[in-house]
A = this chain, B = another copy of it.
Amino acid sequence: MSSVYGKCFKVATFGESHGPAVGVIVDGVPVGLELNNQIIQSELDKRKPGTGKFVSQRREPDAVEILSGVDSAGKTLGSPICMIVRNTDSRSKDYESISGMFRPGHADYTYFKKYGVLPQPGGGRSSGRETVARVAAGALAKVILARIGVSLAAYTVRIGNVWAGKVLIGFAMMDPLRCADPDVAEQMKAEITNAMSDGDSIGGIVEVTVDGVPPGLGDPVFDKLDAMLGAAMLSIGGVKGIEFGEGFHAAQLRGSENNDQMGSEGFLSNHAGGILGGISTGQRIVMRLAVKPTASIGIEQQTLDTTGEICRISVKGRHDPCLCPRIAPVAESMAAITLADAWLSNRAFQGIRS
């Protein structure tokens, strides 16, 4: 396992889906920032399941408890902040019927090969439940970033074959799918409903944008900002690809089309997605994530069990038919964590001249 992330803003997560709790230590939060449970809780609520028919029906309050790093007046102390959320609605029996089988599309097989045991019921560390810790840490990162005027948004721009034609962030934040385009929101829902009615699931694309990032963040050559954001996003379960700016579309462009020219007010376009040479340009950072269809489906599939026997599996229980609305707030959090880390790291070297 490697559950520690970051250089200056260090995040260490823990917790299995069906264990006593999930949580996180964040080391590297500057002293004197205002912090209280509510700031964390409101972020956690964004990722909370059970708020619509398109997300799994696990119902937990996900109430955060802050164990350290904040004084009685609600100010950060500069010391590690530990936050935990108890697991209260973990129904292990949902998993009994498929015990010992490698669920297709899940980490069961690879955990078994790596650790010699299957993940815990519900996926253990490979469960989406682990992302509670990321969102809690992301809330802290956002507190830091807010001070320098950085804001983030993640929303759904594609479900199956339905694309968003425009992006209305305000709408997306209130839509149960985080769909960015009111004109296609119903079509997106229909894509999911159709898949659900077949006992199936569907993939999509989540876009993450970040505004207000100062130019100069990111450290060539290995800790380029896009490399760090890429690792952060690809560490989220279900994300199978990431692109910045024109991304894969750049493959069919010419340099004269893809280069961002400059005028007196700065860049005249943003094909680069806000990052050049691994360093932020000061423009909006734009990235898109490929989200695979949920692996847990009701349709029966063939697999093996741990003894090597072929068997048929149909995964019952609470599962999101589409991961996009669940991944969006996590992606936002991981972007915030990465940018807070990049901003703090950059401060170490700023303004030194002989």
Q: Which chain B residues border A281 with CB–CB below 8 Å? A: 109-110, 113
Known contacts A1-B219, A14-B68, A32-B117; A79 and B147 CB within 8 A of each other? no
- A346–B21 alpha-carbon span in the complex (Å): 27
Bound complex: CA A222 to CA B132 (Å): 14
Q: Which of the segments A42-50, A164-172, A245-253 contacts the partner chain?
A: A245-253
Q: Mark A61-75, 1 if CB is under 8 A from B, else 0.
A: 000011111110000
Q: Which residues of B contact A290 (CB under 8 A)?
A: 243, 247-251
Q: Which residues of B contact A280 (CB under 8 A)?
A: 110
Contact, CB under 8 Å: B243 / A147: no
Asked if A68 and B20 make an inter-chain contact with CB atoms under 8 angstroms apart, the answer reads yes
Question: A78 an interface residue at 8 Å Cβ cutoff?
Answer: yes
A34 CB, min distance to chain B CBs, angstroms: 5
Contact A27 B15 (CB under 8 A): no
CA A259 to CA B109, docked complex, whole Å: 13
- Which partner residue on chain B sits nearest A86 by CB separation? B67
The reply to whether A114 and B68 contact each other, CB–CB distance below 8 Å, is no
| Residue count of chain A within 8 Å CB distance of chain B | 156
What is the CA–CA distance of A302 and B261 in the complex, to the nearest angstrom?
5
Known: A201-B255, A246-B292. A277 touches B237 (CB 8 A): yes
Across the interface, A31 reaches (CB within 8 A) one of B116, B231, B232, B297, namely B116
Does B20 lie within 8 Å of A278, measured CB to CB? no
Give complex CA distance A350, B115 in Å. Answer: 8
A77 part of interface (Cβ distance < 8 Å): yes
Residues of A281-339 at the interface with B, using a CB-CB cut-off of 8 Å, are 281-282, 290-297, 299, 301-304, 308, 310
User: Quick check: which of A4-12, A52-60, A177-185 contacts chain B, the rest being far away?
Assistant: A4-12
Closest chain B residue to A30, Cβ basis: B352
A292 touches B253 (CB 8 A): yes
Task: Provide 5 A-B residue pairs closer than 8 Å at the C-beta atoms, listed in order of the A residue.
Answer: A234-B244, A243-B243, A250-B292, A259-B297, A347-B349
> Would you list the 6 A-B pairs with minimal beta carbon distance, nearest first?
A107-B277, A241-B243, A110-B279, A201-B255, A2-B223, A105-B259
19 further contact pairs, Cβ within 8 A, besides A2-B222, A16-B79, A113-B279:
A1-B80, A1-B219, A2-B220, A21-B68, A71-B120, A113-B281, A114-B346, A147-B352, A147-B354, A202-B253, A202-B255, A204-B251, A227-B231, A231-B231, A241-B241, A250-B290, A344-B348, A344-B349, A347-B349
